[in-house]
Amino acid sequence: MTTANPTLVEMQRTIGDTLRAHWRLYVFQGVLMIVLGVLAVVAPAFATLTVDIYVGWLFLISGVLGLIAMFSARNVPGFLWTLITALLSIVVGGVLLWKPVEGTLSLTIVLTAFFIVEGVFQAAAALIYRDAIPSTWGWLLASGLADLALVAIIVAGWPGTAAWVLGLLVGVNLLTTGWAVVMVALGARDIARSITARISER
């Protein structure tokens, strides 16, 4: 008869407790992402402009904070490189805020590349972890494939799609990722319950 490894049992207990305690937060996150995704899909042009302005502020604020941090510690190695990076962030942020419509073209290219990477990694993660989350890995795979399908649509209609596609991309990505998060969280809840039941039987 094989003796259970006490370290493994304790690790299983910790995982079970953590998943059982926090799966509701993941469900909440997923539902919130779905709601935001629906809003973005319903009004993609507005969502595109919103994303552009949001990213512009992110660049601008990070650049200003970078400058403040850099001048408060001038003797840090790489001072010139940090200065250039901070100024570039400020310039990019300023351009996106000053001319948001023109900025959407460049931003769409960057976000399209991001969705390619995210789609590939989500699909790969779904295939790698399909044994760990057997009832829900298909949702994660579907989310990744949906991202890649959207990228194909963007490329096929470029550049005419640039005015609205950024908002649509973000909306569909939020929808599919949010749904995947909800399904994985519910699967994690079931796994946590089964782990806890197995441990309590020992």
Which residues 6+ apart lie within 8 Å of 180 measured at CB?
A: 30, 122, 136, 139, 140, 142, 143
In a domain, 21, yes or no: no
pLDDT tens, residue by residue, 85-124: 778 878 878 877 887 777 777 777 777 787 788 888 888 8
137: in domain = yes
Which is nearest to 100 in space by CA: 36, 45, 168?
Answer: 45
Residue-wise pLDDT tens digits, 142-155: 888 888 887 888 78
100 vs 64, which has greater pLDDT?
Answer: 64
pLDDT in tens, 10-30: 665 665 566 566 778 878 888
Q: Please check whether residue 78 lies inside any domain of the structure.
A: yes
Residue 47 included in any domain: yes
- What's the predicted TM-score (pTM) here? 0.54
Q: Number of folded domains in the chain?
A: 1
Residue of 129, 126, 155, 128 lying closest to 142 (CA atoms): 126
158 domain-assigned: yes
In a domain, 56, yes or no: yes
Domain, as residue range, for 188: 30-195
% of the chain with per-residue pLDDT over 90? 2
189: pLDDT strictly greater than 80:
no
Asked if residue 185 is part of any domain, the answer here is yes
pLDDT of the residue at 7: 67
Q: What's the chain's average pLDDT? A: 76
List pLDDT tens digits, range 165-187. Answer: 778 777 877 888 888 878 877 77
Kindly state whether residue 23 falls inside one of the protein's structural domains: no
Q: Which two tokens stand for residue 108?
A: 């769409």
| Greatest Cα-to-Cα distance within the chain, rounded to the nearest angstrom | 72
Q: Contact, 187 vs 26, CB < 8 A?
A: no
